[in-house]
Chains A and B, each alone.
Chain A
């Protein structure tokens, strides 16, 4: 019985019920205070570690760009947001990031599903295969970038060496020089690192689907393809939503692999690298923070869209 209902019931009585009413009021108040006290640590920690920095960041994004290099601090309002959206470098970085996200998420989900379907049933040596699969994910992204740099190095890299041995190219190719190839290779290196996690999420999702559903559909004559389309995919939606969100957020945050493979070169620069360059190289915290907050908003929006789109129950 809710406290409100109890309060209304006891209010209909006389003096005794008045005393009861007051004591229930006190109890309700105390319960409210206890509740507030219980959530206070979480609220305080969140406020200190998330809301306060965000608010300070927003405040910084409204200030003048030269304040950190001795300029007179002044309020420029939302002008910094307009500046970063008009900057050709930032626009290129946005385009590159969209390409990274599209390539990475598509490959991670497609390959992740294939790997998950192949590995979710028990077979001999499955544990070893899973351990090997996890290896790229266990490596820090800087380390995987360094490893792949040895592959793409134009002068002594494995890729050029192999292609020349096979007489497929006559001279070393600078893989990170052309924009198209460089974006694809950077995305592939990123996928190499994230694919194990996506596969694991999808394997876990597959293992949560009851075997009886497949058995029943088999009795009804469903082919494996129809089972996959009408049972596996719909029931895997929550896992796909998680994998999609993680894949998207990580692709938006891509930085280490690009930095190791091609530095801050314009042809592969992502939006996060542009934030880094603007903020920490140019010491322009106002524009850097504005760009970072725009990126945060877009990431949050995408996560919300995924949550809504995949949150509906399968039909």
Chain B
């Protein structure tokens, strides 16, 4: 009887020990190319955007690898990755890797460096875009969406209001909005202001568009001073709420619903849009304003302002179960024809320099000249790359900026608290 008891106890100890050793992921790298045998494997991909089904079907037909894509919103993807990677648990074979993840995820060692694994020609073609995913000499992701911020406007509404051009400065924006309001556009501006990542992005954009930066080269916050661009940017947003330029509900609106309102004709200007929204806004199946959406340079102080890049990449976690198949999937994704398809059907602006140049020349890029011109205004939000504490900074900013926009905090108090938090994070 005692023997039985100790056997049970020993098994229990083994079970608990096994539970405690939660490292289910493979820590090994990749197989050399001539030893591949990936047909029949199934990979999981975690992304914040839908991928055309035929894109996936074609990949399976060519490689024999089945792909299962899990799509959830950007904030949820971020949370899922943090939870899974902290637990050293498998989450997917290929995942979203936003520019803002770089500092944090690289420091934690959650992803495989890709610079020596991928086709060197591809790495070279992506070198400019992939700098956002580089930390400590390693590149952790391959850019699939050359995202940055520009403005979209409804040409129909502008013509009806007698506006021939999109305002180039914030001084010109006010009268333009007033004319649109007089025309009957109740809330001409669309700016997401919810307590989400999408809700703080417009503040980042307005800060650089107004000629400023969030941090100096020593990561000292620059936005708490009332004369700073960051301060004026938040004041602009608060005024936009008070003046009725944006709908009152904007304070609970994320970027997806803000675009939906623009595409439904509820607002005339989407101030901080992704270029990928343009094909969707001009697709009559998805937008009631098609084909009247046009891109425009983000307004500035004395002329068009600066904007910033938010490139998104594909990356392979160290816990991935089918790393070779994941690598093949990423390389296949990056083929020019596939990038064209993804631009046309999913609005993902390619990152490959050679392809963007060829698409701009051939007229395949909607609003190509504006898109190219805006690309010349792109500045990095963090000159030295996103710091590892960006997630905490952004999360704090989401709450504080939203509180200021709702009137629970003054602009001064919100930015003072945010600056204090940034200093604490940078000093820790």
| Chain A interface residues (CB < 8 Å from chain B) | 30, 33-34, 36-37, 40, 44, 47-48, 52, 56, 65-66, 68-71, 89, 153-155, 171-174, 176-179, 262-267, 269, 276-277, 280-285
A264 touches B196 (CB 8 A): yes
Distance in angstroms between the alpha carbons of A298 and B161 in the assembled complex: 60
Supplied contacts A69-B104, A69-B108, A264-B196, 18 more A-B pairs, CB within 8 Å:
A30-B1, A33-B1, A34-B1, A36-B5, A37-B1, A37-B8, A52-B19, A65-B428, A69-B388, A69-B391, A89-B399, A263-B195, A263-B254, A277-B395, A280-B83, A281-B78, A282-B391, A283-B104
Distance in angstroms between the alpha carbons of A282 and B20 in the assembled complex: 24
Choice from B1, B104, B252, B400 contacting A262 with Cβ under 8 Å: B252
A52 touches B1 (CB 8 A): no
Residues in chain B near residue A68, CB distance under 8 A: 82, 86, 108
Which one of A69, A284, A285 has the greatest number of beta carbons of chain B within 10 Å?
A69
Query: Smallest Cβ distance from A280 to chain B, in angstroms?
Result: 4
Interface flag for B4 (CB, 8 Å): yes
Query: Smallest Cβ distance from B10 to chain A, in angstroms?
Result: 11
A33 touches B252 (CB 8 A): no
B248 touches A281 (CB 8 A): no
Q: Taking CB as reference atom, which chain B residue is nearest A56?
A: B20
Residues in chain A near residue B195, CB distance under 8 A: 262-266
Which one of B5, B9, B106, B406 has the greatest number of beta carbons of chain A within 10 Å?
B406
A44 touches B400 (CB 8 A): no
Interface flag for B160 (CB, 8 Å): no
Q: Taking CB as reference atom, which chain A residue is nearest B186?
A: A155
State whether A154 and B86 are in contact (beta carbons under 8 Å apart), knowing that A265-B195, A265-B402 are contacts in the complex: no
Interface flag for B326 (CB, 8 Å): no
B247 touches A155 (CB 8 A): yes
Interface flag for B407 (CB, 8 Å): yes
State whether A174 and B252 are in contact (beta carbons under 8 Å apart), knowing that A40-B5, A264-B196 are contacts in the complex: yes
Q: Taking CB as reference atom, which chain A residue is nearest B408?
A: A267
B391 touches A281 (CB 8 A): yes
A263 touches B408 (CB 8 A): no
Distance in angstroms between the alpha carbons of A269 and B2 in the assembled complex: 53
Interface flag for B251 (CB, 8 Å): yes
B391 touches A174 (CB 8 A): no
B78 touches A266 (CB 8 A): no
Choice from B75, B391, B407 contacting A177 with Cβ under 8 Å: B407
Q: Name the interface residues of B126-179: CB closer than 8 Å to any CB of A.
A: none
Residues in chain B near residue A265, CB distance under 8 A: 194-195, 252, 399, 402-403, 406
Residues in chain A near residue B389, CB distance under 8 A: 69
Q: Name the interface residues of B1-25: CB closer than 8 Å to any CB of A.
A: 1-2, 4-5, 8-9, 12, 15-16, 19-20
Distance in angstroms between the alpha carbons of A172 and B252 in the assembled complex: 14
Query: Smallest Cβ distance from A251 to chain B, in angstroms?
Result: 22
Closest 6 CB pairs of A and B: A70-B107, A154-B249, A155-B249, A265-B195, A280-B79, A266-B399
Distance in angstroms between the alpha carbons of A44 and B75 in the assembled complex: 37
Residues in chain A near residue B406, CB distance under 8 A: 174, 177-178, 265, 267
Q: Taking CB as reference atom, which chain B residue is nearest A281?
A: B395
Residues in chain B near residue A71, CB distance under 8 A: 107
* Band of interface residues on B: 35 or more
Distance in angstroms between the alpha carbons of A144 and B149 in the assembled complex: 35
Interface flag for B398 (CB, 8 Å): yes
Query: Smallest Cβ distance from A281 to chain B, in angstroms?
Result: 5
Query: Smallest Cβ distance from A275 to chain B, in angstroms?
Result: 12
Query: Smallest Cβ distance from A79 to chain B, in angstroms?
Result: 13
- Can you list 29 residue pairs at the A/B interface with Cβ under 8 Å? A33-B1, A33-B5, A34-B1, A37-B4, A40-B8, A44-B16, A47-B16, A48-B12, A52-B16, A52-B20, A66-B428, A68-B82, A69-B389, A70-B107, A155-B247, A264-B195, A264-B395, A265-B406, A266-B403, A267-B403, A280-B79, A280-B82, A281-B395, A282-B392, A283-B104, A283-B391, A283-B392, A284-B392, A285-B86
State whether A264 and B108 are in contact (beta carbons under 8 Å apart), knowing that A37-B4, A70-B388 are contacts in the complex: no
Residues in chain A near residue B402, CB distance under 8 A: 263, 265-266
Distance in angstroms between the alpha carbons of A155 and B406 in the assembled complex: 15
Residues in chain B near residue A65, CB distance under 8 A: 428
Residues in chain A near residue B107, CB distance under 8 A: 69-71
Distance in angstroms between the alpha carbons of A199 and B402 in the assembled complex: 38
Residues in chain A near residue B20, CB distance under 8 A: 52, 56
Q: Taking CB as reference atom, which chain B residue is nearest A70?
A: B107
Distance in angstroms between the alpha carbons of A172 and B75 in the assembled complex: 28
State whether A70 and B83 are in contact (beta carbons under 8 Å apart), knowing that A264-B398, A266-B408 are contacts in the complex: no
Distance in angstroms between the alpha carbons of A280 and B87 in the assembled complex: 12
Q: Name the interface residues of B388-428: CB closer than 8 Å to any CB of A.
A: 388-389, 391-392, 395, 398-400, 402-403, 406-408, 428
Choice from B86, B403, B407 contacting A283 with Cβ under 8 Å: B86
Residues in chain A near residue B392, CB distance under 8 A: 282-284
Residues in chain B near residue A281, CB distance under 8 A: 75, 78-79, 82, 391, 395
Distance in angstroms between the alpha carbons of A131 and B351 in the assembled complex: 56
Choice from B19, B82, B252, B261 contacting A263 with Cβ under 8 Å: B252
Choice from A33, A40, A267, A285 contacting B12 with Cβ under 8 Å: A40
Distance in angstroms between the alpha carbons of A312 and B35 in the assembled complex: 73
Q: Taking CB as reference atom, which chain A residue is nearest B1?
A: A33
Distance in angstroms between the alpha carbons of A155 and B199 in the assembled complex: 17
Residues in chain A near residue B12, CB distance under 8 A: 40, 44, 47-48
Residues in chain A near residue B83, CB distance under 8 A: 280
Query: Smallest Cβ distance from A90 to chain B, in angstroms?
Result: 12
Choice from B19, B106, B108, B247 contacting A154 with Cβ under 8 Å: B247
Residues in chain B near residue A66, CB distance under 8 A: 388, 428
Residues in chain A near residue B261, CB distance under 8 A: 155
Residues in chain A near residue B40, CB distance under 8 A: none
